[in-house]
Amino acid sequence: MPQYTPPLRDMQFVMHEVLKVTDEFKALPKHAEVDADTINAVLEEAGKFAAEVTFPLNISGDTEGCKLDLATHEVTPPKGFKEAYAQYVAGGWAALSCDPEYGGQGLPFVLNQCLYEMLNSANQAWTMYPGLSHGAYEALHAHGTDEQKKTYLPKLVSGEWTGTMCLTEPHCGTDLGLLRSKAEPQPDGSYKITGNKIFISAGEHDMAANIVHLVLARLPDAPQGSKGISLFVVPKFNVKADGSLGERNGIFCSGLEHKMGIHGNATAQIVMDGASGSLVGQPNKGLAAMFVMMNAARLGVGNQSLGLTEVAFQNALAYAKDRIQMRSLSGVKAKDKPADPIIVHPDVRKMLLTAKAYAEGGRALAIYCTLLLDKEIHHPDEKVRKDSAEIVALLTPIVKAFLTDNGHIATNACMQVFGGHGFIKEWGMEQFVRDNRINMIYEGTNTVQSLDLLGRKVLGNNGATLKKFGKIIGALIAEEGVNEKMAEFINPLAYLADQMTKFTTELGFKGFQNPDEVGAAAVDYLRVAGHLVFGYFWARMAQVALREVAAGNTDPFYQAKLQTARFYFAKLFPETATLMRTARSGSKALMDTDAALA
């Protein structure tokens, strides 16, 4: 059976020693009183919930899956899921970082990030039930009417109701301009929604009293394409004026997808037959509200793979220390045993360290992004708010795509450590691989994220935001450039930062002449950008560790951090050279291939 220990020490290191979040909070009036003791206490309890309540349901939930009653359209999640969710609600976890005006605890997003990382490590399929509610909450909080906020937000915040995002249709996924669902205005100001949606995570279940579906549809006079999309809130049960639940609405689950992974989550086919809904935001302006959901979800999906990378690493490490096979190439290490533990073999260590480096680098980036979100919303200085929003927008496609790609690499590597046992269900490793695989696809495939990064976030403003983040990297390089002990971290980072400017300019020029050049280079470009960002955070983490060691701190945590940083820069960071070369090779070898693809 797999195991999981919440990585509280590393979370505390990133928050308190690298990013110094409590110092940042002092500049935010709403969070000025949040101290390290509060953060640590909350996350310790969160870790207990993840490890003791949801993690034991992971394999059983995967085995059992969800069951649909075609007669009633009701879905029953795996055994124990509903009870675990009740504990989650009773513990106040749903309300952790939500607005106190609607019953939330108002704690920083940073805590929510760490809570969800641990929940994703423990049980991604379960975590998606409460996790999808955050997108609905954010969209209604930003764009809902006063009546919609009063009706839905307190219930979403408490966790009494859950939410979904009903975007995808059978004929359109990413290209939402093709959607066909219709919304007919009614005399009372409501709308009747008709259409079909697919791939709706947590789309039907009995874990909460009501499900708040946020649905994209077209008004009768809507223009074609993405400019004709409106957003509607469509509850499973209609809500009466006094807030109590009324009759069943005309929105039903007609089928469940038979998926490769996340079997414990109800990925629903949804049919709307004259379902009653209300308009969110302005007519034909649904994309603005949708992107509130999508951006929150993209950060959340990156967090899912971060969680799976961490738990896969923990189990592979424990197995590598215990499993004996062959002898070390450099001589016997375990003289009292017939063979050495496989952790003595260089390639096993490479696989383990790859997962560790991607988990710890991803954690630093994810916490940094949620700190930016806290500053974007709560900082009193408008310029700080604007800069924070700009940087987090740049980093969002990197969080989504780089962390999920790395999760794919890491979970497969950790399964490989187990050899043949990795393919056996009870060890849990093959499930981590299967569960992670969807993360590279949904909320916009990783290619879409790459096009968003290069085409919109970078070239869209002539690299202005990239230069802004480059100045942040430049400040660290200037600070540590003459420190010989930091040279192994700073020099490669400085070199790539310099190359990134030339690389981006070159691709922008080629893309101006032929847009396919952007499409051909985008995936490689995002991965280079991901390493640039990871390199920055690994250099910062090494900086802190070196200072602690120099001050006489003998905690082995800091030596471990330095060793992982050295591995990252020696074995993973150099991938950027190959990626820049393949990106520069252009689109011709891809597009002039009609004969090859005939």
The mean per-residue pLDDT over the stretch 161-187 comes to 92
Q: For residue 174, is pLDDT > 90?
A: no
Q: Tell me phi and psi for residue 296, to 5 degrees.
A: -65, -40
Of 40-44, 111-115, 167-171, 497-501, the poorest mean pLDDT is in 167-171
Q: For residue 375, is pLDDT > 90?
A: yes
Q: For the segment 538-594, what is each residue's pLDDT rounded down to a tens digit?
A: 999 999 999 999 999 999 999 999 999 999 999 999 999 999 999 999 999 999 999
d(CA 524, CA 223): 36
Percent of the chain with pLDDT over 70: 100
pLDDT at 289: 81
Q: At a CB cut-off of 8 Å and minimum separation 6, what does 524 contact?
A: 579, 580, 582, 583
Q: For residue 20, is pLDDT > 90?
A: yes
Q: For residue 276, is pLDDT > 90?
A: yes
45 is catalytic: no
pLDDT at 291: 80
CB 388 within 8 A of CB 423: no
pLDDT at 296: 86
Fold classified for 8-65+77-143: Butyryl-Coa Dehydrogenase, subunit A; domain 1 (1.10.540)
Rounded mean pLDDT of the chain? 97
- Cα→Cα distances 142→19, 158, 223, 224, 227, Å: 28, 18, 24, 25, 20
pLDDT band at 72 (very low <50, low <70, confident <90, very high): very high
d(CA 413, CA 320): 12
pTM for the model stands at 0.98
The mean per-residue pLDDT over the stretch 467-486 comes to 97
The mean per-residue pLDDT over the stretch 228-252 comes to 97
Q: For residue 177, is pLDDT > 90?
A: no
Q: For the segment 488-534, what is each residue's pLDDT rounded down to a tens digit?
A: 999 999 999 999 999 999 999 999 999 999 999 999 999 999 999 99
Q: For residue 434, is pLDDT > 90?
A: yes
| Domain at 162-286: CATH architecture | Beta Barrel (2.40)
CB atoms within 10 A of CB 383: 8
Percent of the chain with pLDDT over 90: 95
Q: For residue 290, is pLDDT > 90?
A: no
Kindly name the residue from 24, 360, 443, 517 that is annotated as catalytic. Answer: 443
DSSP 254-314: EEE---SS-TTS--EEEEEEEEEEEEESSTT-HHHHHHHHHHHHHHHHHHHHHHHHHHHHH
pLDDT band at 128 (very low <50, low <70, confident <90, very high): very high
CB 529 within 8 A of CB 549: no
Rounded to the nearest 5 degrees, what angle is found at the Cα of 470, between the Cα atoms of 464 and 472? 120
pLDDT at 376: 95
